[in-house]
Amino acid sequence: MASIQVAPRPNEIDGCLQSWADHDEVQVVRSSMETGAIKVRRRFTAVVWLVDASVTLDASLYLTFRDWFRVSCQSGVLPTRFKTPWGAEVVMRFTAPPAFDWGVDAGARAFRVSMTLEQMPEWASL
């Protein structure tokens, strides 16, 4: 197996996320038949794991987070490390640019960042 480059997470960001909703990527194909029942078959034997997550951070960490995504993670090309709600560190990558919401705090002392992450099957053991 080829070596996987994992982008370092900034020390100021601990990798914990406040909201976490995960599910597997759909891995079955459903085909209608001319007659009879719908045929269902697996497309893959390994599963891509998807996570919708968010975290509220201090305003001083905005540029750190943004640069982590844009530079260290190469805008989602390289995976990085996150912490699951059960405390395990996992390797995942951004599937799209994170969304930043400054409406969290009227004084703009904090922002909420929402993101969708994915873990490829071969990263499960990293």
| Distances, alpha carbon 116 to alpha carbons 33, 41, 60, 100, 112, in Å | 35, 27, 23, 13, 14
The span from the first CA to the last CA of the chain, in angstroms, equals: 12
Of the pLDDT bands very low, low, confident and very high (cuts 50, 70, 90), residue 106 is low
Is there a contact between 15 and 6 (Cβ–Cβ < 8 Å)?
A: no
Supply the pTM of this predicted model.
Answer: 0.81
The pLDDT of residue 13 is above 70:
yes
What proportion of the chain, given as a percentage, has pLDDT over 90? Answer: 60
Confidence grade of residue 84 (pLDDT, cut at 50, 70, 90): very high
- Contact (CB, 8 A) for 73 and 39: no
> How much is the pLDDT for 69?
97
Q: How many CB atoms lie within 10 A of CB 90?
A: 18
Per-residue pLDDT, 109: 87
Which has more pLDDT, 62 or 104?
62
Average pLDDT over the chain reads: 89
pLDDT tens string 22-78: 888 777 788 888 888 888 777 777 889 999 999 999 999 999 999 999 999 999 999
More confident residue, 60 or 2: 60
